[in-house]
Amino acid sequence: MKCIKKLSAITHISNFTQYPMILKGVNIMKTLIIIPIFNEEKNITRVLDRLELEKNKFDVLIVDDGSTDNSYNVCLNKDRVSVIKLSSNLGIGGARQAGFKYAHSNNYDVVVQLDGDDQHNPDFIDNMIEKLNEGNNICIGSRFIDYEGFQSSFFRRLGIYVIYNLIKLITGQRFTDPTSGFRACDRAAIELFAKDYPQDYPEPESIVFAANRKIKICEVPVTMNERGTGKSSIGGFSSVYFMAKVSIAILLSLPHNNKELCEN
């Protein structure tokens, strides 16, 4: 498994400010929302507006993964938003791990992963963090528990079903939405992912990686939106091809993971 050893790809960090997050009925938790972006200038403003930063006291970190549009400058003009600018495109795994390293270095209690294309609804963040307070290390926001909102294409759902069964076979656990990038992670998961995080297909691979290390993972039902603007790189028959590659990547990673577990 490839991972970032240090954040040498970072060229700039702006607007660094920290706020505690306060939830009703739970302890104060220092929470970071990580949003990796690549050419999302038309979506990211709407994503940040929906977070309602004037009411919610959490920190937001944008990881600009080498965007070639105006995404970086758009984020710079937002209050209470810090921005990491990567010098080159690392991919979603590398960008997200940069965020985990930042969170670990700055002693955050919780990381919430949010996509920059406006598919993830921040109204569900509180529910996900509450699950961490109940003893879970990772909480995944799943589209396929209540089946409300945008459900993705038929071919992509077919691929997700294949990955669901593969992960169930490997881990003995059921995760209805293994490709969901809408997740909350506690300190144990932050520390793990800051050190080692899947780079190619991070959502499903990280489930297997974390579950093999006794990280407790749960799901909560969420409603997602269709992508705001732009087009996903995974659609139609390419969804099946993508999911086949994901399945192979998970299987190929198993001997490496098992060797690490024995050494530990």
Q: Can you spell out the DSSP letters for 67-114?
A: -SSSHHHHHHTSTTEEEEEESS--HHHHHHHHHHHHHHHTT-SEEEE-
Angle formed by the axes of helices 237-263 and 154-171, nearest 10°? 20
- Residue range 134-172, pLDDT digits in tens: 999 999 999 999 988 787 778 788 888 989 999 999 999
- Residue range 86-134, pLDDT digits in tens: 999 999 999 999 999 999 999 999 999 999 999 999 999 999 999 999 9
Task: Please give the model's pTM, rounded to 2 decimal places.
Answer: 0.84
Domains of the chain: residue spans and CATH: 10-153+177-233 (3.90.550.10)
pLDDT for 250 equals 87
pLDDT for 148 equals 85
The model's confidence at residue 13, banded by pLDDT at 50, 70 and 90, is low
The model's confidence at residue 25, banded by pLDDT at 50, 70 and 90, is very low
DSSP structural state of residue 120:
S
CA dihedral 93, 250, 128, 49 (to 10 degrees): 30
> How large is the average pLDDT for residues 38-66?
91
> How large is the average pLDDT for residues 196-221?
94
pLDDT for 107 equals 97
Within 13 Å of residue 87, how many CA atoms lie on the same side as its CB? 5
CA dist 80 and 65 (Å) reads: 20
